[in-house]
Amino acid sequence: MKFRHCTLSILILTLVFFGQRTSAAAGTTEPGVARVSLIQGEVSSMRGDSGDEVAVAVNTPLVQGDKVSTDQQSRTEIQLDHANVLRLDQNTRVTLADLSRARIQVQVAQGLVGYTVLTGNEAGIEIDTPNVAIHPLHEGSFRLQVVSESETQFVVRDGEAEVSTPQGSTRVQKNQIITIQGSDNPQYQVARAPEPDEWDQWNRDRDRTIQDAQSWSHTDRYYTGAYELDSHGHWAWTPGYGWVWSPNVDPLWAPYRSGRWTFEPYWGWTWVSYEPWGWAPYHYGRWFFQNSAWWWWPGPVTPAYRPLWAPAYVSFFGLGLGIRPSSFGYHSIGWLPVGPGDYFYPWYGRGRAFSAVNITGITRVRSIANVNGAVSPLVTPGSRYAYSNVRAVLTDDRVRQAVTRVSENDFVRGRVSQASRAVSVETIRRAQFVTGTIPAVPTRQSLRSADRPVHLASSAVRTSNTDRFFTLRQTPPSPHSFNSRAAEIQRMMQTPGQAQTITGQARDATIGGRPAVAGTQPGRTTVPREAVNPQRPFASGQAENRPTPRDPATSPSQFSGSRPGAPTWRHFGENAPNGSSSATPPAAGNRSSFQSPSSNSFPNDRQGEWHHFTPSAQRPAERQPQNFRQPEYSRPPLEIHRPIVSERQPQLNPGRSGHGSWQGQGHQRSGR
């Protein structure tokens, strides 16, 4: 009997393990989500799925296609994932052109940014400006300033990067600065980097805050935002789970109550916490109630497994079925944190139709079968530590008090009262447990993470001109149209008896009164790589609108002053500068005075040399940048009582060298 019981336990654990591996494989192809982790002043965003301009708050999710702008005397920090951090100084505008586990592409239209690559990076990174594309090659700290459409300054504080133009590429080492001037036929100058200023020191301090957090000893490094937990709660060791965390809050506090729901492309309804620490505990791990407090369990901390990000780990309830003339829905919608022993029913992604069952039916689920795509519990089913909030909600008053419910209208408007509303056992018994798409049609108010209006000056920064970038790789298709997504949910609610699928495609929808074409983005024009003339990388009829590259010998620049001796003009692709060969030299060169928008300037004692990117009859051989250090992984032995999460599958996606293409991007994406 004991042998049969052991064999059955191993079989169950193995099936759960492979079920989690399937979820991990899906996680590698899902779009990434960035977190706004810090704001100083006014920051706003233009959504990539609708073109709406919205004010940005801490913990606002950002996805591929979103633009972010900062106002005067403003700054913001964006954690692109666990290892990539982007910071914007005042009057800066960037676009998240690509954001996934394997690829990150950021386009800087204007202003000053800092970019840090931390240990464990898995993504191939590209940073584009109007006249250059940059690939960080290692962990490091970088500074980039777009002075104008024809001038970019890039500093490597730590690490190494490859800088590419239409004519070729070069590498920039630690403590070097490169300035690229011109667009059609750019020229560059490499010099010793100026001394760090206040902007550099601020970036360095933020890096230390993130890297030196004590919480990393209790959580996986993949938990973006876990460093915030140090100053907002306390850790405790709990049998069966290990280290768990509880916030410093009121005794009647409950998770997923101080915040709002926003609607995001692909992910659908996404929780935005008003609590400064509210990213990692709401998008990873599980919550359970013990010893008169709610505790967050981050999950197993092992090098062989990687947790999955979700827009929220909650169980949704439909309270009071409401029938309308043309559709159906619920009078109110409720949610409860998912426990370590609960199945999780995703409502996001493709192929999620609406479905619901009675709550008592869910509590009887004992098999490990994935019901409607359910994610298996993190704790092995049947374990004494497989704590289920869904079962406890029928018997434990304190857990039942954690059910938050609002009207359907308030749900889509992002109105969530922090006051606890008692929910009776009978109400829960009559509720429907939602196991698919939530029957709530998003509106324009569902796109906001904050109720404050967009600051006019910040908006003017973003819409002042049309963005164009030099890029080595084409950006992916734009996010699915918001109008299309909302319309499909509406159609699903009109025929609840049919298993309709939410695909998010815009094939039959209209955008701004005209048919939408799948895979295109209104307002964005991409020039195919094959159509680019390497000697003149602009589409026909557009080059005359570009600024004329300035001659560093005669035009003003961020570099000012003079240095002894005339620098050597060189063709791109020649050996390292040593003065052995040159073209016609310019007049007196320039010294390095690197001025930031914060009015901080570097000492004028750095000496550099100008070079020319010259077109070549043959393209240089493509060179792969050095990979990030990849940790060694091994699968631990299966243990009956050990929790299971998805297996980490590191992927490296190095950038490409050599020729790229020009991409134009309009500032308006209207009517979606």
Q: How far is CA 34 from CA 127, 222, 504, in A?
A: 16, 13, 21
Over the chain, what is the mean pLDDT?
74
Which residue in 645, 635, 643 sits closest to 22, CA to CA? 645
The amino acid sitting at 328 is: F
The DSSP secondary structure of 324-375, one letter per residue, reads: -SS-EEEEEEEEEEPPTTS-B----SSS----EEEHHHHHT--S---GGGPB
| pLDDT tens digits for range 385-426 | 999 999 999 999 999 999 999 999 999 999 998 766 778 898
Whether the per-residue pLDDT at 15 is higher than 70: the answer is: no
Which residue in 465, 431, 413 sits closest to 668, CA to CA? 465
Residue 457 has a pLDDT of 65
Residue 667 has a pLDDT of 40
| pLDDT tens digits for range 127-171 | 999 999 999 999 999 999 999 999 999 999 999 999 999 888 999
Identify the structural domains of the chain with CATH numbers, from first to last. Answer: 2-22+213-447 (no CATH), 31-212+452-474+521-622+657-672 (2.60.120.1440)
Give the whole-angstrom CA distance, residue 657 versus residue 654: 10
The amino acid sitting at 31 is: P
| H or E element at residue 412 | helix 408-413
Positive or negative, the CA dihedral 78, 307, 450, 57 is negative
DSSP conformational letter for 591? B
- Polymer length of the chain: 672
Residue 221 has a pLDDT of 86
| H or E element at residue 413 | helix 408-413
| pLDDT tens digits for range 478-514 | 777 899 889 988 888 876 544 333 333 322 222 222 2
Tokens of 141: 């700290």
Neighbours of 389 (CB within 10 A): 25
Q: How confident is the model at residue 606 (pLDDT cuts 50, 70, 90)?
A: very low
Can you give the C-alpha Rg of the chain in angstroms? 27
Longest dimension (CA), the chain: 92
Classify strands 103-117 and 124-128 as parallel, antiparallel or unpaired.
parallel
Q: How confident is the model at residue 232 (pLDDT cuts 50, 70, 90)?
A: very high
| Residues 548-571, mean pLDDT to the nearest whole number | 35
Q: Please say whether the beta carbons of 310 and 346 come within 8 A.
A: yes
Q: Please say whether the beta carbons of 315 and 433 come within 8 A.
A: yes
Give the whole-angstrom CA distance, residue 651 versus residue 656: 16
Give the whole-angstrom CA distance, residue 542 versus residue 405: 54
54 forms beta bridges with 45
Q: Please say whether the beta carbons of 131 and 159 come within 8 A.
A: no
Burial of 481 (C-beta count, 10 Å sphere; 0-12/13-18/19+):
buried
Which residue in 591, 568, 38 sits closest to 279, CA to CA? 38
Q: Within 467-554, where are the H helices?
A: 482-494
Give the whole-angstrom CA distance, residue 495 versus residue 481: 22
Report how far Cα 517 is from the mean position of its chain's Cα atoms.
25
Cα-based angle 660, 666, 671 (whole degrees, multiple of 5): 135
DSSP conformational letter for 100? B
| H or E element at residue 458 | helix 456-463
Whether the per-residue pLDDT at 594 is higher than 60: the answer is: no
Give the whole-angstrom CA distance, residue 341 versus residue 286: 9
